[in-house]
Amino acid sequence: MNKQLIAYILITIVFLVVFGGIASVLPSRQARQLGRLRVSARKYGLTTSLVHIADVNASLSDRVTASGKRLDPKKRCVTWSKPYADDFPDVPEWITYALDQKESSNMNWQLHETTEECRNLADSYWLEVDQIKSLFPERCIAIECTRTEVRWLGYEKVHSTMDEFIQAMLQGLDSLIRLNTSISEERIALKKRLETDSEYD
């Protein structure tokens, strides 16, 4: 009787160890939802990837060591990107970071310009960018415009349906693309007018 009991206990322990090991490597329900969400994004011309960006909300202790050495704290997030459909040489290039409310009562975003042309953009451009920010899904920590694409950086929220999340993402990225391409087209047209005028001087 004792031998049978010991055998049952050993079998149970082996089963729990094996099953527990398998369960630990299986993706969680949320991980599976995120996987499906990112796969669905490809159908709409969107790409996703894991990246590390500057942590503008890092504490002072995370920015400087005890010996006074300056650090460059980073945070990991997901980027959702959409490329420009064509080559637009004069699109604005910049990145803006979301700030914690507790750190700033008057400004919620911190703009980092990457090109000289950004400083010459009209206030109406930045007002429209502010309106576009509200179109994006929640949990955004940065928005970036590069030479080839526009990007949303943050953490996906899968409590809403996948379609709602993707449609909100598309609305924000497409609006930013339209705004930036219109700026590029205006700059190209202005250059052509200046070149034409110089020919007749």
Looking at the domain assignment, is residue 131 inside a domain? yes
Residue 16 confidence (pLDDT)? 59
Number of domains in the chain: 1
Threshold 0.85, pTM exceeds: no
Task: Indicate whether 163 pLDDT > 70.
Answer: yes
Looking at the domain assignment, is residue 173 inside a domain? yes
Looking at the domain assignment, is residue 124 inside a domain? yes
Looking at the domain assignment, is residue 18 inside a domain? no
Range of the domain at 183: 44-199
Looking at the domain assignment, is residue 25 inside a domain? no
Taking the C-alpha atoms of residue 199 and residue 172, their distance in angstroms, rounded to an integer, is 41
Task: Indicate whether 147 pLDDT > 80.
Answer: yes
Looking at the domain assignment, is residue 22 inside a domain? no
| Model pLDDT for residues 120-143, shown as the tens digit of each residue | 888 999 999 999 999 998 889 999
Taking the C-alpha atoms of residue 70 and residue 113, their distance in angstroms, rounded to an integer, is 22
pLDDT band at residue 47 under the 50/70/90 scheme:
very high
pLDDT band at residue 4 under the 50/70/90 scheme:
low
Question: What is the pairing mode between strands 149-154 and 74-83?
Answer: antiparallel
Residue 83 confidence (pLDDT)? 95
> Cβ-count burial of 118 within 10 angstroms (0-12 exposed, 13-18 middle, 19+ buried)?
middle
Residue type, 172: G
| Model pLDDT for residues 68-110, shown as the tens digit of each residue | 788 788 889 999 999 999 888 889 999 999 987 554 344 478 8
Tokens 């090109």 belong to residue: 115
Taking the C-alpha atoms of residue 45 and residue 82, their distance in angstroms, rounded to an integer, is 7
Residue 32 confidence (pLDDT)? 75
